[in-house]
Structure 1
Amino acid sequence: MNIKGIFFDVDGTLICHDKGRMSAATEAALYALQEKGIRLFLATGRHINELVELQIDFPFDGYVLLNGQLCLDRQRQVIFANPIEGKDKERLVHLFTSCAFPMVIVEKERLYINTVTDQVKRAQKAISSTVPEVAKYHDQPFYQCTAFIDEQKTHQLARELTNCVITRWNPYGVDIISKQGGKDKGIQAMLAYFGMNAQETMSFGDGQNDKEMLQYTKIGVAMQEADPVAKKAADFVTKSAKDDGIVYALKHYGIL
Structure 2
Amino acid sequence: MAIKAVFFDFDGTLYSHTQHRVPASTVKAIDALQKQGIACVLATGRHVSELKDLHFDLSLDAWITLNGQLCFKGDHYFRKKELHGAASLQKQFDAMQVPLMFVEEKRLYVSFINDQVRQAHKAISTPLPPVGRWNGAPVYMALAYMNAQQAEHVQLDGFKVTRWNQDAVDIVPPDVSKVAGIKAYCDLHHIKKEETMAFGDGENDMEMLRWAGTGIAMGQADGIVKQCADDVCEDIDHDGIPHALMRYGSGRD
**When the two structures are superposed, what TM-score results if normalisation uses the length of structure 1?**
0.94
Structure 2 match to 1:31: 31
Structure 2 match to 1:3: 3
Structure 1 match to 2:54: 54
> Is the Cα contact below 8 Å between 1:222 and 1:231 reproduced in 2?
yes
Structure 1 match to 2:133: 136
Moved more, 233-242 or 147-156: 147-156
1:78 aligns with 2:73: no
**1:127 alignment partner, one of 98, 101, 124:** 124
Note the alpha carbon deviations across 1:224-252, whole angstroms, 9 max, x for none.
11122211110001000011100111011
1:100 maps to amino acid: Q
1:12 maps to amino acid: G
> Is the Cα contact below 8 Å between 1:99 and 1:115 reproduced in 2?
no
Structure 1 match to 2:150: 153
> Is the Cα contact below 8 Å between 1:207 and 1:229 reproduced in 2?
no
1:254 aligns with 2:249: yes
SS in 1 for 2:227: helix
Cα separation, 2, equivalents of 1:229 and 1:187:
22
Matches within 5 A, 1:81-92: 81-85=80-84, 88-92=85-89
> Is the Cα contact below 8 Å between 1:101 and 1:147 reproduced in 2?
yes
SS in 2 for 1:175: strand
Note the alpha carbon deviations across 1:126-162, whole angstroms, 9 max, x for none.
10100111111110111111111010222332xx222
1:123 maps to amino acid: A
1:217 aligns with 2:216: no
2:203 maps to amino acid: Q
The Cα of 1:63 is off from its aligned counterpart by 0.8
2:89 maps to amino acid: L
Cα separation, 2, equivalents of 1:96 and 1:51:
27
Structure 1 match to 2:114: 117
> Is the Cα contact below 8 Å between 1:223 and 1:239 reproduced in 2?
yes
1:228 maps to amino acid: G
The two structures, once aligned, show a CA RMSD in angstroms of 1.4
Structure 2 match to 1:12: 12
Cα separation, 2, equivalents of 1:227 and 1:145:
24
What number of residue pairs does the alignment pair up?
251
> Structure 1 residues 155, 98: CA separation in 2 closer, same or farther (over 3 Å shift)?
closer
Unaligned runs of 5+ in 2: none
> Is the Cα contact below 8 Å between 2:90 and 2:100 reproduced in 1?
no
**Percent of residue pairs identical:** 39
Structure 2 match to 1:165: 160
> Structure 1 residues 76, 130: CA separation in 2 closer, same or farther (over 3 Å shift)?
farther
Structure 2 match to 1:42: 42
1:63 aligns with 2:63: yes
SS in 1 for 2:142: strand
1:140 maps to amino acid: A
Runs of 4+ displaced beyond 6 Å:
none
